[in-house]
A and B are shown apart, each in its own frame.
Chain A
Amino acid sequence: MYGTLPTPAGAVPRLAAGLTMVDRLGHWQMRWGFGRMRYRVRPGLYAVGEPQAASPVLVTANYKMTVDLLRRELAATNAWLLVLDTRGVNVWCAAGKGTFGTAEIIRQVTACRLAELVGHRTLVLPQLGAPGVAAHEVLKGCGFRVIYGPVRAADLPAFLAAGMQATPAMRRVTFTLGERLVLTPVELTAMWKSLGWGSLLLLLIGGIGPRFFTVEAALQRGPAAIAAGLAGVLAGAVVVPVLLPWLPGRMFAVKGAVAGLAVALAGTTLYGARLGGIDSAALLLALPAVAAWCAMNFTGATTFTSPSGVEREMRRTLPVQAAALLAAGTLWIAGAFLP
């Protein structure tokens, strides 16, 4: 942010066009999930470039990464930016919650005295804000017509240059390798708590044996099981997103199980002799189950899954995942009692 722009409706803060090193560092931090709920911009009206009464008004969320990407793409554009209070959440998720919504738009348009500032009565919204906004109700509520812009901020200059016309490609959501990869760090860091508890549990179970419980057994058997668990997590939360279009099956749990089984087979091939038959069988059951669970959780981050579909695959595959895990655990514990 630098300086303000004097307008009939008061001074409007101006946003810088380029991103600094600090911005980039912040984005990297967000991708790993550190302080994501506190990465915000103050809601309200901003100026990008030298906007005038005829300049377009672009509506967005107050997640700082969202505003940053927008001002980066608008480096050569003069526009007004109306930042809604979405509590630091991106446009799509905030629209789903309704915080990027009809009422908040009407509130901000009124509070920022937008009608005194611009000569037109048009708001450009990101298309992915549409689940939270009823365009016809915004018109009724504040007299501004909603035009849905492109899905991606990068298409905004072309959209504006074409007289606010979006091509079909601008309207479609994609899920490219890059778009999938950028999501994997936060999938992993979101799991650290469950990973900690899971590891503790495996250490405790690992200590069970003919002499009831020994620390030696826990330290000998526990880490191997933890390594297997981590391999399952990586298969489900990293391998599945990367290989998503090529893994067999429509259900994410199936894709996860396939990736997990491949990793487990590699594991038994390499360490089978040391593991023995029972532990190998346990590995072949547990690793696909863990990977299936992690892969299923990735549905929430994708761009092409429906809640009804996720619920269906959960009802069908969760019992299988639980059964495989239970069988693996039973085999593993039983193995400790055998010579």
Chain B
Amino acid sequence: MSGLRYLDNVVTLQLDAAKCTGCGMCATVCPHAVLALEDRRARIVRRDACIECGACARNCPVAALSVKAGVGCASAIIHGWLTGSEPSCDCQGSC
């Protein structure tokens, strides 16, 4: 993704290293190599590349990861603001 970087210091990704068992699933599923295994423990190595898809948290068997995953489309977010609900692609009937 050379040349393509989004905003810094904004993502909600959290890792509770004490819970980690070092299975490496989070590093496998991350599409942006945000997580890596170091000394058999997961570590966040590229936090600002995180897109908050939630794959790591969903696949962590010990719930060591948390992230506020969601839809990153502007009109969905506005729809969410207006209706007070979570943003969803469904507002336009397509995604």
Which A residues are closer than 8 A to B by beta carbons? 33, 36-37, 89, 93, 95-97, 127-128, 130-136, 148, 151, 168, 171-175, 190, 244-246, 250-251, 293, 296-297, 299-314
CA distance A227 to B30 in the complex (A): 43
CA distance A97 to B77 in the complex (A): 15
Given contacts A131-B55, A314-B78, contact A171 B28 (CB under 8 A): yes
When A and B form their complex, what is the total count of cross-chain residue pairs whose Cβ atoms lie within 8 Å? 138
B14 within 8 A of A: no
B1 adjacent to A174 (CB under 8 Å): yes
Please give the distance in Å from B40's CB to the nearest CB on chain A.
18
Taking A171-B31, A300-B72, A300-B73 as given, write out 12 further A-B residue pairs in contact, using a Cβ cutoff of 8 Å, ordered by the A residue number: A173-B31, A174-B1, A250-B6, A300-B71, A300-B74, A303-B31, A304-B49, A306-B6, A306-B52, A307-B68, A309-B10, A310-B77
* Identity of the chain A residue whose Cβ is nearest the Cβ of B69 in the assembled complex: A131
Given contacts A306-B10, A310-B77, contact A175 B4 (CB under 8 A): yes
Proximity string of chain B (49-82) to chain A, C-beta cutoff 8 Å, 1 when within and 0 when not: 1111111001101000000111111111110000
CA distance A168 to B49 in the complex (A): 16
A244 adjacent to B4 (CB under 8 Å): yes
* Identity of the chain A residue whose Cβ is nearest the Cβ of B80 in the assembled complex: A311
A296 adjacent to B74 (CB under 8 Å): yes
Of B51, B87, B89, the residue contacting A304 (CB under 8 A) is B51
- Interface of A, helix, strand, loop or mixed by DSSP: helix
B71 adjacent to A37 (CB under 8 Å): no
Chain A contacts for B73, CB-based, 8 A: 297, 299-301, 310
Given contacts A93-B95, A171-B28, contact A304 B5 (CB under 8 A): yes
Please give the distance in Å from A165's CB to the nearest CB on chain B.
11
B10 adjacent to A308 (CB under 8 Å): yes
A312 adjacent to B7 (CB under 8 Å): yes
Chain A contacts for B11, CB-based, 8 A: 306, 308-309
CA distance A93 to B16 in the complex (A): 28
- Interface of B, helix, strand, loop or mixed by DSSP: loop
Chain B contacts for A168, CB-based, 8 A: 33
Of A37, A127, A174, A299, the residue contacting B94 (CB under 8 A) is A37
14 A-B pairs (CB sep. < 8 Å): A33-B94, A37-B93, A93-B95, A95-B53, A130-B29, A131-B69, A134-B59, A135-B25, A136-B59, A148-B28, A190-B94, A250-B5, A310-B77, A314-B74
Please give the distance in Å from A182's CB to the nearest CB on chain B.
16
Given contacts A89-B95, A134-B59, contact A307 B5 (CB under 8 A): no
Of B1, B59, B89, the residue contacting A135 (CB under 8 A) is B59
Chain A contacts for B83, CB-based, 8 A: none
B55 adjacent to A311 (CB under 8 Å): no
B1 adjacent to A297 (CB under 8 Å): no
| Chain B 9-36 interface residues, beta-carbon cutoff 8 Å to A | 10-12, 25, 28-33
Please give the distance in Å from B69's CB to the nearest CB on chain A.
7
CA distance A250 to B74 in the complex (A): 16
Chain B contacts for A313, CB-based, 8 A: 7
Please give the distance in Å from B20's CB to the nearest CB on chain A.
14
